Amino acid sequence: MSISVNGQSQVPPGFRFHPTEEELLQYYLRKKVSYEKIDLDVIRDVDLNKLEPWDIQEKCKIGTTPQNDWYFFSHKDKKYPTGTRTNRATAAGFWKATGRDKVIYSNGKRIGMRKTLVFYKGRAPHGQKSDWIMHEYRLDDNTTSDTNIVSNVMGDGGQEEGWVVCRIFKKKNHLKTLDSPLGSGEGRRSHSHLFDSCDEGALEQILQQMGRGCKEESSYEGNYNNNSNSNSNSNNSMNYGRLVSGSDPSMVHALEVGSGGGGLTNWAALDRLVASQLNGQTEASRQLACFNDPTIGYCTTDHDLQLPTLRSSSTPSSTSAHARLHAPPASYINPTQDFTSEIDLWNFTRSTSSLLASSEPLCHVSNTSV
């Protein structure tokens, strides 16, 4: 596919279609669902059931410049007339949702959601996972219906029906393969690449997933949304990455085993996850260990740098961590299996990340040398 720009047959050299999530939703998808004309036919319609990822890659080329990701509109249909699930099977495999949907904000206002899917070759439940990833963006129901009252003939199936805009890309194995279009400081970026896009809500999400079996999700929905909203740009984000994808592979394994067997309600596994990470960290974690040990007060630590950093920090989470220091430490110890401890643990991990954030410049000085 090539598009025409001012008589030229393709996108000018150096320019790439690199939309923000907000542009995808607010400009492209909103126009699509309200049948407005889009200036250039940049994003094509794709029948997800008919095209394999590698075919989409071919069909959704923009110009001739090398691409790392490909965009298309897709119309979601119900898998079964009576059900609400979406059919995402192709001839060669199927797309399977993973994780939890991410809220997309525009100017602080929620506009839509992003779902992450993985392509499996073969047939469920025996598919073989591929490196193809899809981000599927949908507008919030209320916002679409507001703007589409005039022309809307969309189905009433809510989020499981209607137009979505999708981006597919191949998962990189933590190495920059293509020449990064973002360009700046490749050396450093590839080093910290692992943490680049870590969601602020990472641990919350894990907590929620693990707790799904026995808890009503709505009971802490507010916490999660609030959190991802206010902190999405803070520098804490990478620390969840360290916590989640830290150097200890056995940790993740423990989480898998624990959660797999117990229907995602195994809190002991999560405790081990947190504990192993805390013990594994230097400096900050030694300090954190004091939280776990009631016999050592916080004041016994003499890392003169971290406390002032913490105090001087103005991020909301750091402030809350600071406040936590003066709270009875009991709530941090031994989270048990009931609901209240879940919240405590949640707070605990937040505090943890704040402390790690404070010590980050110390631990990773070497990262910044480009």
Based on the number of CB atoms within 10 Å of its own CB, is 175 exposed (0-12), middle (13-18) or buried (19 or more)? exposed
Sheet of strand 93-106, all strands in order from the earlier edge strand to the far edge: 44-45, 69-76, 162-170, 128-139, 109-121, 93-106
| 115, β-bridge pairs | 136
Give the Cα separation of 353 and 317 in Å (integer).
9
CB of 305: closest distance to other proteins in angstroms?
15
CB of 27: closest distance to other proteins in angstroms?
5
| Nearer residue to other proteins within complex by CB, 18 or 311 | 18
| Nearer residue to other proteins within complex by CB, 181 or 297 | 181
Give the Cα separation of 164 and 179 in Å (integer).
29
CB of 163: closest distance to other proteins in angstroms?
17
Report the 3 state secondary structure along 69-134: EEEEEEEECECCCCCCCECCECCCEEEEEEEEEEEEEECCEEEEEEEEEEEEECCCCCCEEEEEEE
Give the Cα separation of 57 and 65 in Å (integer).
13
CB of 214: closest distance to other proteins in angstroms?
15
| Nearer residue to other proteins within complex by CB, 226 or 340 | 226
| Nearer residue to other proteins within complex by CB, 6 or 295 | 6
| Nearer residue to other proteins within complex by CB, 202 or 290 | 202
Give the Cα separation of 234 and 311 in Å (integer).
16
CB of 75: closest distance to other proteins in angstroms?
17
CB of 329: closest distance to other proteins in angstroms?
28
| 135, β-bridge pairs | 116, 167
| Nearer residue to other proteins within complex by CB, 124 or 327 | 124
